[in-house]
Structure 1
């Protein structure tokens, strides 16, 4: 990891915010009222510094401004504004902004409305990735609601428009996912932070978006080639999710704060194994999770044929007849509940589930060991440790 310039002196306000939606005073929590000193063990780490409601409010303000801009172009874009707003505001734990914010605080950054706006841009990167992921996986739902391509397909059918409804839905999802990625850039650079801070953060932000995009391609390629190796599954998990969930947000926060090379190295040592553990937990939930928690039908990852670390571990543990059976059933969209339960039993009984849980524990321990040695502020260290526990156990 390349080093970054040392911590700056002072915070010149040389970059005006590009949005103050609808009025900034109404949407942002005042600095003096933020509960930075909250220490109750019952407080979610995502609520420390009042962060989650602050992120929600700044996202709502940004989206209100974008809605007005879209409606100036054409009233038909109201559905686009509604859909992106529903997707961004209708769920999500704000985990990526939390890692970025506490990465910033750990590197010595001082809390401000502007930095909350900057880290909130990560939610649009996440929205873009999920919209495109649902399309590629042909997922019907996201967080218990219709996925974006299904929503626009249904609108086409309901309106009785010409052409192929599914094609219209697919095209809409591609464009809305792209729009969310464009807005991530606009939100970061319209946050009001000084230009010098944004210039330091830019390489991290760009690298993160490249990694998640090529990681998604590797996922598609892995399914097409039926690669069942643990090595390939680990690489997909690393680049599709792990880096942009934890490591890159931490490094983005460090860059915004002007953290030094030692902070960058510590955050990488903490963030990468933790991000991989987070993705492995996601893999387990994709097969064994409760739909009420995941927002997707039980066993959806099996129907989609995802070659995750969990599945790759099963392939490596099974004998040839059992591997052939698993391979034949993976990716069958007609797999019923009994078929899902049978594959769950195969994965569980061959030891793949236990091996994945053990890997999660090893990665989590590695991450926490690195965090204990990190040269960062103590309050941030404590919150980051709580975020690590919550993200790998999914208690937030």
Structure 2
């Protein structure tokens, strides 16, 4: 999608930005230094999907780095936005680890215990630290857009994209949590809307559009790209839902069937609810938290219901739409190629 040199530039830019924050923290006390160190770890590594999409789209639309010096700062802004969302999401889910290592909340719970705090105090400090770390990174993402050397009109359009990314994602996350605590079953359309809003805009639509804006793409191309980004984002999140139910531990970053153990109301479950097998599926999910045997039983019943196949078919149709839109004459050939590559990337994720 991008060359190794561009990936290295993305990593260097993010490191430089986090170093600026760490330098600022040095005079604000040891706890804040520890917070920024934990934030650096949260932002390190990873696939860098969102910043790579910014750069790949910029290149596909004929952007020239020497003419748009702020491109990598904008790319970094989308990675910091993602990191902030992940940190806050862990607080919402009461998670203290991510992929087997302590996250920001987990690190600060340990810090609190070292200072003699009890369980409640440790949880309080862990959650507070994670919320504040996410807040700092959200601020820094905004600051990067505000100060990037990109010109007034491009900055305005980028802030519109950033605005959508933050507001729509927050709305999706809130809806998802509300669904999880409700004793009633939300409509399937509401579950699919929350699934889309949580991820699609900030993961695909906004980064792709940001790169195109930086490269000077016209309105027709941006509209076509945004629509394709929405479809990619939906397929990406639906694939995540299949990973959460059926993926391996390596894919999911935790024990297989995590979404079933937590009885999450996902699109997969919404599709199963409309089948003749729902009663058995529902009963199996209700006890999936008891262990791997119960999880496997729930997986088998979901498979038998046809919901897994139906969701996979929906992903396939959605990606077919992306591939069709890649031939839109408003897009340069390189942008069409990028969309096809991304459709293939999402397809390979489906368990």
Per the normalisation by structure 2, the TM-score is 0.91
Structure 1 residues 239-278: aligned runs within 5 Å:
239-278=197-236
Structure 1 residues 130-279: aligned runs within 5 Å:
130-161=86-117, 164-225=121-182, 226-279=184-237
Say if 1:132 and 1:196 are closer, same or farther in 2 by CA, change over 3 A: same
Query: Structure 1 stretch 78-87 or stretch 310-319: which is displaced more?
Result: 310-319
Structure 1 residues 55-204: aligned runs within 5 Å:
55-89=10-44, 91-112=45-66, 113-161=69-117, 164-204=121-161
CA distance in 1, matches of 2:148, 2:89: 27
- Given that 1:106 and 1:380 are in contact with CA atoms closer than 8 Å, whether structure 2 keeps it comes out as yes
> What secondary structure does 2:7 align onto?
helix
1:202-253 alpha-carbon deviations (Å, 9 max, x no partner): 1111111111111110111111224353212210111001121111222222
**Number of residue pairs matched by the alignment:** 346
CA distance in 1, matches of 2:131, 2:47: 24
> What secondary structure does 1:135 align onto?
helix
- Given that 1:125 and 1:184 are in contact with CA atoms closer than 8 Å, whether structure 2 keeps it comes out as yes
Structure-2 residue corresponding to 1:48: 3
The CA deviation at 1:140 is 3.9
Structure 1 ranges of 4+ moved more than 4 A: none
CA distance in 1, matches of 2:231, 2:266: 16
- Given that 1:99 and 1:384 are in contact with CA atoms closer than 8 Å, whether structure 2 keeps it comes out as no
Structure-2 residue corresponding to 1:375: 330
Residue 293 of structure 1, aligned match among 251, 254, 257: 251
CA distance in 1, matches of 2:276, 2:106: 37
Query: Structure 1 stretch 118-127 or stretch 224-233: which is displaced more?
Result: 224-233
Provide the alpha-carbon RMSD of the alignment. Answer: 2.1
CA distance in 2, matches of 1:289, 1:155: 33
Say if 1:49 and 1:164 are closer, same or farther in 2 by CA, change over 3 A: closer
1:300-329 alpha-carbon deviations (Å, 9 max, x no partner): 222333211112112222445325414633
Structure 2 segments unaligned to the other structure (5+ residues): none
> What secondary structure does 1:278 align onto?
helix
- Give the structure with the larger helix fraction: 2
CA distance in 2, matches of 1:198, 1:353: 42
Larger RCO of the pair (alpha carbons < 8 Å, separation 6+): 1
Say if 1:227 and 1:108 are closer, same or farther in 2 by CA, change over 3 A: farther
Query: Structure 1 stretch 123-132 or stretch 252-261: which is displaced more?
Result: 252-261
Per the normalisation by structure 1, the TM-score is 0.81
1:250-306 alpha-carbon deviations (Å, 9 max, x no partner): 222223333222012111221111110000111111111122233222222223332
- Given that 1:106 and 1:376 are in contact with CA atoms closer than 8 Å, whether structure 2 keeps it comes out as no
Residue 310 of structure 2, aligned match among 352, 355, 369: 355
CA distance in 2, matches of 1:197, 1:321: 53
Structure-2 residue corresponding to 1:37: none
Structure-2 residue corresponding to 1:16: none
CA distance in 2, matches of 1:261, 1:58: 29
1:122-157 alpha-carbon deviations (Å, 9 max, x no partner): 011111111111221223432332232222212212
